[in-house]
Structure 1
């Protein structure tokens, strides 16, 4: 299946897109799609100031690297960063909705968090995506096993090239700011293992799985 030509990736925090859809992000760039990224937090509050700024720069560096590797321009739509995991996403849900509303006519496919994700910021972004985009774009929720209690429904698979899975692993491991508290998922080997399993389910070398969380729209 050919990807839609305009793809937007929406994450709560700076490392989220690479974690739940780094392979699809790379494939969209390989296929020279129009690609946008929107995130809402650099982990400030959870990370102290310097580390939060580092997280934002790590994301910028990942996007610049992927653009250089593929020749595809990635538009970073991210604006002011919210505090993480302290209720700010709920209190400022209208801003999150508005940021997606302003972009919704520009993209055919939006990839964001699965609604079942247990992180509170991830849940709020997923909810606003469903509200803002339901009539405008196909919405997929990415797989984040660390936050899944068994309710993630793998209903949409994307096969990945060797470059795409290598790119995902590289971008995840670029987040030195996140290698703390024994986080097992900031590890390229984990990403490769999951991609291998998902690939085996569709007779492909590697794949990412997504949940269909909105209407599937073909125009």
Structure 2
């Protein structure tokens, strides 16, 4: 396993893109909690396309809890759930406006291989809106059984405590989702355990990365491969 550490002298700037109000936290809530706990989260700007006033209130409180002590910003499109492809222009405009107003290092977004049409559209469009950021496509467990389509290449290991904390915050801040039969702790812990097995960790969240540019930081003279031997 190769571990790469960004050569940044500051915390990360993130843009969080969701089709629905709980998408980001379901797909990447553990990553957010871990970055925030390590003081590695500098800013978080969220854009949620399909929303209602009730769900927006839930999302604001949830995002604040997942990103604390960082105070995230949140913008909501107010578009109808399940109908985002029919609002292509509005979705594209909102993504472009967010990209123009932010300078993220990393963008978290749904996968273009997702079976849900709202998720899939965002996964397709986000890459062209944010051309200079690392885009990580998160996965969302669902009835459609599409997890194999995402084929993750990037893993973020999680401790058992982070997995428990993620579920506790989801259930606390999204009471509107409790009637759903899939809204259970073991739905999320089970997926996290599977992804953890794939990267030799207890638990993990997994992401697909369409394009990552690798570079090597300059080394001091006489340090590293190719350096002249001493003497």
Identify whether the pair has TM-score above 0.5, normalized to the shorter chain. yes
Number of the residue aligned with 1:108: 105
Residue 217 of structure 2 is aligned to residue 211 of structure 1: no
C-alpha deviation, 1:113, in angstroms: 0.5
Number of the residue aligned with 1:138: 134
* Structure-2 change in CA distance of 1:40 and 1:173 (3 Å): same
SS of match in other structure, 2:82: coil
Please, which of 10, 14, 18 is the counterpart of residue 25 of structure 2? 18
Task: List gaps (5 residues or longer) in structure 2.
Answer: 218-231
Number of the residue aligned with 1:48: none
Number of the residue aligned with 1:74: 71
Q: Which deviates more from structure 2 when the two are superposed, residues 4-13 or residues 120-129?
A: 4-13
Number of the residue aligned with 2:175: 176
SS of match in other structure, 1:78: strand
Number of the residue aligned with 1:55: 55
C-alpha deviation, 1:92, in angstroms: 1.4
**2: distance between equivalents of 1:73 and 1:149?**
31
**2: distance between equivalents of 1:137 and 1:27?**
20
- Using the size of structure 1 for normalisation, the TM-score is 0.81
Checking the alignment, whether the CA contact within 8 Å between 1:7 and 1:28 is kept in structure 2 is no
Number of the residue aligned with 1:47: none
Checking the alignment, whether the CA contact within 8 Å between 2:50 and 2:77 is kept in structure 1 is no
Where do 4+ consecutive residues of structure 1 move more than 3 Å?
A: 1-4, 214-219
Q: Which deviates more from structure 2 when the two are superposed, residues 198-207 or residues 74-83?
A: 74-83
RMSD between superposed Cα atoms in Å: 2.4
* Structure-2 change in CA distance of 1:38 and 1:89 (3 Å): farther
* Structure-2 change in CA distance of 1:216 and 1:142 (3 Å): farther
Checking the alignment, whether the CA contact within 8 Å between 1:24 and 1:158 is kept in structure 2 is yes
**2: distance between equivalents of 1:190 and 1:85?**
22
Please, which of 62, 74, 83 is the counterpart of residue 80 of structure 2? 83
C-alpha deviation, 1:55, in angstroms: 1.7
**2: distance between equivalents of 1:102 and 1:31?**
28
**2: distance between equivalents of 1:84 and 1:204?**
35
SS of match in other structure, 1:21: helix
Q: Deviations over 1:140-185 (max 9, x none)?
A: 11011325163111110001133421232123223121234x441x
